[in-house]
């Protein structure tokens, strides 16, 4: 049995998909399909340009508490001459409570390194957002038996020790790079092994934080594999990419996460 304070969490990461029309239809389908009692925390991370519209729709649908908003990215400063960037305080102002940080697509396609990710994480905490810190190994690293070493190195590089002393809002998503968008999923035991290592890494720094932190799995999560993942003692939720684009499929994932 998992501690009750680790409420299951399902996050939809739309990446660079969607449209205004899709947003409206998706939210209507999602809200109408959800039962009154929802013991799962659900977060939608659409492209940033749709955040304020999503907020307006959710206000109109008057059931806004059933889904929170998050951003897929934010910069490391609150304001300044950073053309094209969006600050964590702006994202907070849009009503978001979460932001992804260190996603492997940001690392690989946009060359974000640990130093920048660490600054983004720190700025997100300062703007009263919870960063969802993404970590994960490549196929080569797994084949070389370096998975846990890589995960702990990524955590140490971006999660400030000071933060771990001060603030229990820690959320980490384990997303093996080889499982993202490939249809390959880590087996529940492979994922649990890494989640245990993440919790032990946190516990070595702050036992309370480790106990309260929600650890998510991401990488080809579908309605058919989510239940077995969530049954693992250290998997508290999922970060969903392609399957989150279809409201019905995403709802099925949310329903499967009810304990």
Nearest CA to 223 out of 182, 255, 191 is that of 255
Q: Is 116 helix (H, G, I), strand (E, B) or coil?
A: helix
Query: E strands of the chain, at which residues?
Result: 9-13, 41-45, 68-71, 96-101, 130-135, 171-174, 214-218, 237-240
Contact 124, 131 (CB under 8 A): yes
Task: Catalytic residue, from 103, 112, 137, 192: name it.
Answer: 103
Of positions 239, 253, 256, 257, contacts ligand 13P by CB under 6 A: 239
CB count in 10 Å sphere of residue 99: 25
Q: Contacts with ligand 13P: how many residues (CB under 6 A)? A: 14
| Contact flags string 152-191 toward ligand 13P, x per CB under 6 A | -----------------------x----xx----------
Rule CB under 6 A: say whether 220 interacts with ligand 13P: yes
Q: How far is the CB of 31 from ligand 13P (least distance, A)?
A: 22
Backbone angles phi, psi at 99, to 5 degrees: -150, 140
Nearest CA to 133 out of 100, 109, 162 is that of 100
Nearest CA to 159 out of 204, 217, 92, 106 is that of 204
Number of residue whose CB is nearest ligand 13P: 241
Rule CB under 6 A: say whether 70 interacts with ligand 13P: no
Catalytic residue at 175?
yes
| Contact flags string 5-34 toward ligand 13P, x per CB under 6 A | --------x---------------------
Q: How far is the CB of 2 from ligand 13P (least distance, A)?
A: 22
Catalytic residue at 141?
no
Contact 152, 168 (CB under 8 A): no
Contacts to ligand 13P by CB under 6 A = 13, 103, 175, 180-181, 218-221, 239-243
Task: Indicate which residues carry an active-site annotation.
Answer: 103, 175
């Amino acid at each position: 049995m998992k501690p009750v304070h680790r409420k299951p969490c399902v996050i939809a990461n739309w990446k660079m998909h969607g449209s205004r029309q899709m947003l409206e239809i998706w939210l209507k389908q999602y809200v109408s399909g959800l039962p009154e009692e929802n013991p799962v925390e659900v977060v939608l991370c659409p492209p940033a340009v749709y955040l304020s519209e999503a907020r307006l729709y959710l206000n109109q649908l008057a059931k806004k508490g059933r889904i929170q908003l998050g951003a897929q990215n934010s910069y490391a400063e609150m304001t300044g001459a950073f053309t094209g960037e969006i600050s964590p305080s702006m994202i907070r102002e849009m009503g978001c409570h979460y932001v992804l940080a260190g996603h492997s697509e940001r690392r690989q396609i946009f060359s974000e390194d640990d130093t920048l990710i660490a600054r983004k994480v720190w700025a997100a905490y300062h703007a009263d957002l919870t960063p969802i810190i993404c970590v994960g190994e490549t196929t080569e690293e797994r084949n070389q038996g370096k998975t846990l070493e890589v995960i702990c190195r990524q955590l140490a590089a971006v999660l400030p020790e000071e933060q771990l002393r001060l603030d229990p809002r820690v959320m980490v998503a384990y997303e093996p790079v080889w499982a993202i968008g490939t249809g390959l999923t880590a087996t529940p035991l492979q994922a649990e092994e890494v989640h245990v290592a993440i919790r032990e890494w946190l516990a070595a720094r702050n036992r309370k934080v480790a106990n309260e932190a929600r650890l998510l799995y991401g990488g080809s999560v579908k309605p058919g594999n989510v239940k077995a993942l969530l049954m693992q003692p250290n998997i508290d939720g999922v970060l969903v990419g392609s399957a989150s684009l279809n409201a019905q499929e995403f709802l099925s994932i949310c329903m499967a996460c009810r304990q």
